[in-house]
Amino acid sequence: MAQVYYEKDADSSRLQGKTIGIIGYGSQGHAHALNLRDSGANVLVGLYEGSGSRAKAEAEGLTVDTPDKVTAASDVIMVVIPDQIQGPVYKESIGPHLNSSKTLMFAHGFNIHFGEIVPPEDVDVSMIAPKAPGHRVREVFVDGSGVPSLVAIHQDPSGSALANALAYGAGIGSMRAGIVATTFKEETETDLFGEQTVLCGGVTSLVKNAFEVLTEAGYQPEIAYFEVMHELKLIVDLMYEGGMNYMRYSVSETAEYGDYSRGPRVVDPHVRANMEQVLAEIQDGTFAKEWIAENHEGQPRFKAMREAGANHEIEKVGAQLRGMMSFLKKK
């Protein structure tokens, strides 16, 4: 079983007198910065000149400067900018200002694990990765609780990397829920696998194919949308709350029998074999090299796939139907 750390395992005083630089102010960045500030830490936010997030951070009373100046002024540097720009930003603005007195932290291990970022050997390198979107990290913290996180240590020349990472985790509220020990390799590879085979790639491909099967069989697109897209949240919410058994307890026995008897025919051994191939491509670096090259080339294939997805019939039908649902927050 995994090692889990709780509040009793953290010494929050390790952050006293230290300056924490948050590089980025997106989903995770804003939550880390605000939670740490509210926990009493001295927080700086590093953003490029002209960033649209500068005004948001300053409106919260945070001090904002460029990533190089924030890195130079900080004892702990947490990198929470998108994977594809971390390498260049590190080389230009972070790496030159690191020394043995500083700690470099990440909320995802991609660039460390795949070697896009190689910190000096005398610098502590660690990870605190909340298992929730940034807005949820913030909401739960404000309510007095916290979301679980992962902790990993890549380099520990000081001998205190874990203790300092747990103190950081306490600062964003995660020690209230629990922090699970992992490695940069495990976090990176399982995170990518989950995104590609289930959470993003698997679910959207399953929904899109089911929608096409129904509409090509003559069913109305609106009815198909309700059955394979709209109700998905209801099922996922049940699993989120109580696992698969709770979901099956909550649906009809007709639905439950269809789950057992038809589900394995849809997600059959061929699908499992494809999942295993996807995992292999993550493990051997094939996906990372492909994604890095895609960004170096200006994302032509990525942008084409994004446009095709946005123009699929299910998106057009869904937009119309969601317009009927006043209970949904407008996006």
Q: Assign residue 24 a region (left: φ > 0; alpha: ψ between -120 and 50; beta: otherwise).
A: left
Are 172 and 36 in contact by the 8 Å Cβ rule? The answer is: yes
Active-site position among 32, 108, 113, 154: 108
Report the C-alpha gap between 21 and 72 in whole angstroms.
9
- Interacting residues of 293 by C-beta distance below 8 A, sequence separation 6+: none
Report the C-alpha gap between 10 and 13 in whole angstroms.
9
Are 95 and 77 in contact by the 8 Å Cβ rule? The answer is: no
Q: Which amino acid is at 265?
A: R
With CA atoms as reference, report the closest residue to 46 among 26, 70, 28.
70
With CA atoms as reference, report the closest residue to 236 among 265, 267, 272, 198.
198
95 alpha-carbon distance from chain centroid: 24
**Which of helix, strand or coil describes residue 328?**
coil
Report the C-alpha gap between 5 and 151 in whole angstroms.
9
Q: Does the annotation mark 270 as catalytic?
A: no
Question: Which two three-digit tokens encode residue 126?
Answer: 């660690």
How many angstroms separate the Cα of 278 from the Cα of each of 72, 83, 86, 208, 281?
40, 19, 24, 20, 5
- With 0-12 CB in 10 A as exposed, 13-18 as middle and 19+ as buried, what is 231? exposed
**Which positions are annotated as active-site residues?**
108
